[in-house]
A and B are shown apart, each in its own frame.
Chain A
Amino acid sequence: MNSHSDKRVRTIDRVNASLAERYARERRFRTAGLAAVSLGLLFVSFLFISIVGNGYTAFHQTKIALEVFFDPQQLDPDGRHDYDALTRADYGGLVKASMRNSFPAVKTRQEKRALYAMVSSGAAFELQHMVLADPSLIGTTQAVWLTADDDIDMLVKGHIDRSVPESERRVDDRTLAWVERLEQEGALKRRFNTAFFTNGDSREPELAGIAGAVMGSCYVLLVTLLLAFPIAVATAVYLEEFAPRNRWTDLIEVNINNLAAVPSIVFGLLGLAVFINFFGLPRSAALVGGLVLTLMTLPTIIIASRAALKSVPPSIREAALGVGASQQQTIFHHVLPLALPGMLTGTIIGMAQALGETAPLLMIGMVAFIVDIPGGALDPATVLPVQIFLWADSPERAFVERTSGAIMVLLFFLVTMNALAVVLRKRFERRW
């Protein structure tokens, strides 16, 4: 006491002397944190800007307006509107005839081939669909918007520079002149690209869509959810509530935690060895993909579920036991309902992980080029991230924007699922 009063330095003076330095240190720390966050946001916005910048045009598709005469001679010589006959009729010829009518100046075969190439090979199917839907069109002349070829699409969207010399351009001067004529006539238009959402994969970029991949992802996730959630919850409940604490349960616990850190490709190899080679399940099937992703997401959901069970206050257990509930009643009537939101959150995060996973699916053959939209879990299928991987590998310029478009769809699903997790957590968060 005496030594303090002798120096005559009051505590408050010392505090004040060091105060400026303390505040400065706090400010520096806060600035560093803010800088880190800003950097992170910057990278994320780069990612988004580049993807959206590349990809937003994928949601539009250039269409060419043609006057199509549905020539009964060509389509339905019998006039019986027979379904088979209508299906097999030469719609390609119809498209070509219409193009020739629109450009009467084109004479040579070479020129004609270039002219026909302006319209997508899918245009014939569009006409087929129209006729099959309404056979009364036969004999009439309709103004029809047909899908343009991907090169024309790129040209219209500005991805092909019209000012560079012809030799360096994918579209020659002749076609360019036609396009410009069509543009002046108002016969070229960009429409919303429904094909992108309704078609399966295709070699032709303007016909390629993500529907197959989305359906594939849905089947895979459905299988994963149906298997992973019940198994994981049952495991978590058993380990947390019923299992005795001994070396075995410790071992299991360590293994579950380790499993969460295993590279996902290993699960793919396992799936290949066990499900396809041993059990003989079909290659490329969504069922196998779901099984593999179940293995991969199980540890995540188990760990989240155990954490949720642990976070239920012991007072609730005591309350239930105190009125004479058995252990099982305590768990199923009180603990589990309180832990469920946490478990669901963990499940959704696990599902989101599974949705974005590629590597293990490559091992089980889900990387194949599949045109058909899968109709079930046993059909060959691919999934969104793998579709992105495939398109990113394709040389055509038009696949670049489709890759980005597919990424945007995938991100949309991921964000939606994570948002759902947040909403669930907020909604069911209880106070006690």
Chain B
Amino acid sequence: MHTTIQYMAAENTLAPAVSGDGGQALAEDSRDFAGTVGDVTVANPAMTARNVNVWYGEQQAIIDTSLDIGKSQVISMIGPSGCGKSTFIRCLNRMNDTIDSCRVTGDIRLEGQNIYDKKLDVVPLRAQVGMVFQKPNPFPKSIYDNVAYGPRIHGLAEDKQGVDEIVETSLSKAGLWDEVKDRLGEPGTGLSGGQQQRLCIARTIAVSPEVILMDEPCSALDPIATATIEELIDELRQHYAIAIVTHSMQQAARVSQRTAYFHLGRLIEVGATDDIFTNPGHRLTEDYITGRFG
């Protein structure tokens, strides 16, 4: 590989710690780039992103990326560190708004509505597009309150009984109900890592989102907990559109129906996971998934 990979940003931090000459590498690489390989559209999209560009200050993190998130399927985003995959999914629920220097252009639509519209309120957007993070981050409150928080602030239930129902169904969907039903009052932070992450998923689905974004949800978990989460993702797929960023190519292969490969801020290739992992269309994708970056 002639391209130098810039380890631009730790994917999980809010602040974009971008190295100085990352832009150089982006510009260099753009000469070889002839557009995304594969079909970025799907028949039944939950979200559509068109020509998205993202800057952190002077540094461009996403270059002209278009991608659909399909309903009732899992799309995984893979790519080397700093390739922009986390940045991209954070654009989908405007989580990047919390970074002052971050600027987004392009068109991202949820049910036909441009989510970067000046008039659009970000609060209902984030209720519709939920997010699960790399490190399990339950609130330091009880298990019950963790799940009930979202429904409460959005007023999704009429009374206490309604909240109870939402908590139970959410925890059940997250496969956690049987494990915690007798100790809903205990702090969520007292659960094991995998349980905490499922609690975070339950918290996300408690507000009935259309889309669930997952930013490396298993990177802090052991293989057994990871398997549980992967099984859960596969079940959740029936009801939600799911976009998952992962560093584990095996995980992408296991849980997703579509795979998107990002490289230095560009969407290099997107396609059916089965095809990507047997016969990728772009040399960079192939080099990445076969472990040929050096």
Q: How far is the CB of A252 from chain B (nearest CB, A)?
A: 17
What separation, in Å, do the CA atoms of A430 and B139 have in the docked complex?
11
B149 touches A333 (CB 8 A): yes
Instruction: Confirm or deny: B34 has a beta carbon within 8 angstroms of a beta carbon on chain A.
Output: no
Of residues 308 through 324 on chain A, the ones whose CB sits less than 8 Å from some CB of chain B are: 313-324
- What residues of chain B lie closer than 8 Å to A313, measured between beta carbons? 137
B153 touches A325 (CB 8 A): yes
Other A-B pairs beyond A316-B137, A322-B130, 16, CB < 8 Å? A245-B100, A313-B137, A319-B139, A321-B98, A323-B149, A323-B204, A323-B207, A324-B125, A324-B126, A324-B127, A324-B150, A324-B207, A325-B123, A325-B150, A338-B140, A432-B189
What separation, in Å, do the CA atoms of A245 and B126 have in the docked complex?
25
- What residues of chain B lie closer than 8 Å to A326, measured between beta carbons? 123
Instruction: Confirm or deny: B154 has a beta carbon within 8 angstroms of a beta carbon on chain A.
Output: yes
Nearest chain B residue, comparing its CB with the CB of A314? B14
Of residues 189 through 212 on chain B, the ones whose CB sits less than 8 Å from some CB of chain A are: 189, 200, 203-204, 206-207
A430 touches B140 (CB 8 A): yes
Q: How far is the CB of B236 from chain A (nearest CB, A)?
A: 16
What separation, in Å, do the CA atoms of A432 and B200 have in the docked complex?
13
Q: How far is the CB of A357 from chain B (nearest CB, A)?
A: 36
Counting contact residues on chain B (CB < 8 A from A), the size range is 20 to 34
B126 touches A323 (CB 8 A): yes
What separation, in Å, do the CA atoms of A318 and B98 have in the docked complex?
9
Please list 16 pairs of residues, one from A and one from B, whose beta carbons are closer than 8 Å in the complex, sorted by A's number.
Answer: A316-B139, A318-B14, A318-B131, A318-B133, A319-B138, A319-B200, A320-B149, A322-B126, A323-B126, A323-B127, A323-B130, A324-B150, A324-B153, A325-B150, A329-B153, A431-B189
Mark B residues whose CB is within 8 Å of A: 13-14, 93, 95, 98, 100, 123-127, 130-133, 135, 137-140, 149-150, 153-154, 189, 200, 203-204, 206-207
Q: How far is the CB of A221 from chain B (nearest CB, A)?
A: 31
Q: How far is the CB of A330 from chain B (nearest CB, A)?
A: 10
- What residues of chain B lie closer than 8 Å to A244, measured between beta carbons? 100
- What residues of chain B lie closer than 8 Å to A325, measured between beta carbons? 123, 149-150, 153
What separation, in Å, do the CA atoms of A244 and B140 have in the docked complex?
28
Instruction: Confirm or deny: A334 has a beta carbon within 8 angstroms of a beta carbon on chain B.
Output: yes
What separation, in Å, do the CA atoms of A313 and B135 have in the docked complex?
11
Mark A residues whose CB is within 8 Å of B: 244-245, 313-326, 329, 333-334, 338, 430-432
Out of A316, A321, A333, A430, name the residue touching B95 (CB < 8 Å).
A321
What separation, in Å, do the CA atoms of A320 and B130 have in the docked complex?
11
What separation, in Å, do the CA atoms of A338 and B98 have in the docked complex?
20
- What residues of chain A lie closer than 8 Å to B154, measured between beta carbons? 324
A318 touches B150 (CB 8 A): no
- What residues of chain B lie closer than 8 Å to A432, measured between beta carbons? 137-138, 140, 189
Q: How far is the CB of B286 from chain A (nearest CB, A)?
A: 34
A317 touches B149 (CB 8 A): no
- What residues of chain A lie closer than 8 Å to B153, measured between beta carbons? 323-325, 329, 333
Given known contacts A317-B98, A329-B153, A432-B189, is B139 in contact with A324 (CB within 8 Å)?
Answer: no
Given known contacts A317-B98, A319-B200, A432-B189, is B123 in contact with A324 (CB within 8 Å)?
Answer: yes
What separation, in Å, do the CA atoms of A317 and B98 have in the docked complex?
10
What separation, in Å, do the CA atoms of A325 and B153 have in the docked complex?
7
What separation, in Å, do the CA atoms of A334 and B153 have in the docked complex?
13
- What residues of chain A lie closer than 8 Å to B133, measured between beta carbons? 315, 318-319, 322
Out of B13, B14, B95, name the residue touching A322 (CB < 8 Å).
B95
Out of A245, A314, A320, A329, name the residue touching B139 (CB < 8 Å).
A320
What separation, in Å, do the CA atoms of A149 and B123 have in the docked complex?
76
Q: How far is the CB of A239 from chain B (nearest CB, A)?
A: 15
Nearest chain A residue, comparing its CB with the CB of B134? A315
Q: How far is the CB of A201 from chain B (nearest CB, A)?
A: 49
Q: How far is the CB of B29 from chain A (nearest CB, A)?
A: 30
What separation, in Å, do the CA atoms of A430 and B206 have in the docked complex?
25
- What residues of chain A lie closer than 8 Å to B203, measured between beta carbons? 319, 323
What separation, in Å, do the CA atoms of A329 and B125 have in the docked complex?
16
Q: How far is the CB of A99 from chain B (nearest CB, A)?
A: 70
What separation, in Å, do the CA atoms of A324 and B133 have in the docked complex?
14
- What residues of chain B lie closer than 8 Å to A317, measured between beta carbons? 98
What separation, in Å, do the CA atoms of A256 and B258 have in the docked complex?
53
What separation, in Å, do the CA atoms of A338 and B133 have in the docked complex?
20
B140 touches A322 (CB 8 A): no
What separation, in Å, do the CA atoms of A251 and B127 have in the docked complex?
37
- What residues of chain B lie closer than 8 Å to A333, measured between beta carbons? 149, 153
- What residues of chain A lie closer than 8 Å to B98, measured between beta carbons? 317-318, 321
What separation, in Å, do the CA atoms of A138 and B115 have in the docked complex?
92
Q: How far is the CB of B104 from chain A (nearest CB, A)?
A: 16
What separation, in Å, do the CA atoms of A333 and B148 have in the docked complex?
13
What separation, in Å, do the CA atoms of A200 and B54 have in the docked complex?
71
Nearest chain B residue, comparing its CB with the CB of A323? B150
B189 touches A321 (CB 8 A): no
A315 touches B135 (CB 8 A): yes
Out of A321, A322, A338, name the residue touching B204 (CB < 8 Å).
A322
Q: How far is the CB of A200 from chain B (nearest CB, A)?
A: 48
What separation, in Å, do the CA atoms of A245 and B189 have in the docked complex?
33
Out of B100, B124, B137, name the residue touching A315 (CB < 8 Å).
B137
- What residues of chain A lie closer than 8 Å to B200, measured between beta carbons? 319
What separation, in Å, do the CA atoms of A431 and B196 have in the docked complex?
13
- What residues of chain A lie closer than 8 Å to B130, measured between beta carbons? 322-324
- What residues of chain B lie closer than 8 Å to A431, measured between beta carbons? 189
- What residues of chain B lie closer than 8 Å to A315, measured between beta carbons? 133, 135, 137
Q: How far is the CB of A425 from chain B (nearest CB, A)?
A: 16
The 6 A-B pairs of least Cβ separation, nearest first, read A324-B127, A315-B137, A323-B150, A322-B131, A324-B126, A319-B137
What separation, in Å, do the CA atoms of A333 and B140 have in the docked complex?
11
Nearest chain A residue, comparing its CB with the CB of B124? A324
A318 touches B204 (CB 8 A): no
- What residues of chain B lie closer than 8 Å to A318, measured between beta carbons? 14, 95, 98, 131, 133, 137
Q: How far is the CB of A334 from chain B (nearest CB, A)?
A: 6
What separation, in Å, do the CA atoms of A317 and B125 have in the docked complex?
17
Q: How far is the CB of A7 from chain B (nearest CB, A)?
A: 35
